[in-house]
Amino acid sequence: MGKITRALMKAAEERIEHMEKAIQIKEYDQFVARKMDNSLIDARIIAYFDPKSVISEQYKILTTNLLSSNNNKPMKVILLTSSIHSEGKTITSLNLAITMSRAVHKPKILLIDADLRKGKMMRYLGIKQEKGLSEVLNGQASFKDVLFNLDIDHLTFMAPGAVPPNPAELLASDAMKELLNEAKSMFDYVLIDAPPVIPVTDAVILGGMVDGSLMVVQAGRTQRGMVDRAAELLHQGHVKILGHVLTGIEYFVPEYIYRYL
């Protein structure tokens, strides 16, 4: 192979390498989720990693709306639920809890994973805690024993604990009411991540013990009939719906907004 041919091939290789890098950077740029430390927290908890992003701004708006919506009764205990599974309840609860904990007056927040059947919050937080809500409810642990201090100021977490044979019964017990009373005396706000409304009764049961409930709705997937049915079930249980949080929305953000943030 002649010198010139080799030089041309090398140049071509370098160009390909350069283009690959450029493509990678371009793809990276498209990700909204940015992990900026080596913690095990999931990159989708954007309020933690990137509090100035456009998405985090949406959680701030939600926080402001929630904190200012106390017309006659203060919203201290808030439930997050949805019609069906995987609509974004847990991701929303985590982002909201972090955003609330950073509000100007630095309220103390307790975030409870009350999905006793399929709680995934620990996975998103990158932590392990065996004892939690179910142990407190069945008398195997005390409330204070199972509080998990995250590395996030003003935010405390309670794991779901071992999967009990009777989740709905446990959640409906007086022990749950006592737990919430204790939580209210120690924290400014309590956020509860609950299972979905349609498949199981847990959310309606919990909804009767809280000040209000936020419904998470995944855009483009959950059918209107499902959302209506869930609202009907919550109304039957006298649960106050504070509003809906739409997830899975794609929208164009003009550059001047990025510059502003």
Site string for ligand ADP, 144-183 (x = CB under 6 A): ----------------------------------------
Toward ligand ADP, which CB reaches closer, 50 or 87?
87
Toward Mg ion, which CB reaches closer, 74 or 248?
248
Both tokens assigned to 67:
């904190």
DSSP 241: E
Contact footprint for Mg ion (CB under 5 A):
89-90
Toward ligand ADP, which CB reaches closer, 47 or 168?
47
Q: Which stretch binds ligand ADP (CB under 6 A): 89-97, 106-114, 128-136, 180-188?
A: 89-97
Toward ligand ADP, which CB reaches closer, 56 or 82?
82
CA distance 251 to 261: 16
Cα angle 158, 163, 167 (rounded to 5 degrees) comes to 90
Q: Where are the alpha helices (DSSP H) in 34-188?
A: 46-49, 54-67, 89-101, 121-125, 133-137, 167-171, 174-186
C-beta of 241: minimal distance to ligand ADP in Å?
16
C-beta of 240: minimal distance to Mg ion in Å?
21
Helix (H) or strand (E) holding 41: none
Query: Could you tell me how many residues of this chain bind ligand ADP (CB under 6 A)?
Result: 13
Q: In the range 95-134, which residues lie near ligand ADP by CB under 6 A?
A: 120
* Dihedral sign of CA atoms 123, 206, 131, 165 in order: negative
Q: Does 82 bind ligand ADP (CB under 6 A)?
A: yes
Give the neighbor-by-neighbor strand order of the sheet with 241-247: 147-149, 155-158, 109-113, 189-193, 77-82, 212-218, 241-247
101 binds, among Mg ion, ligand ADP, none (CB under 5 to 8 A by kind): none
C-beta of 201: minimal distance to ligand ADP in Å?
17
Closest CA to 210 of 232, 249, 183: 183
248 binds, among ligand ADP, Mg ion, none (CB under 5 to 8 A by kind): ligand ADP
89, 100, 159, 202: which one binds ligand ADP (CB under 6 A): 89
DSSP 3-state percent helix, strand, coil across the chain (nearest 5)? 45, 15, 40
User: What residues line the site for ligand ADP (CB under 6 A)?
Assistant: 44, 82, 85-92, 120, 247-248
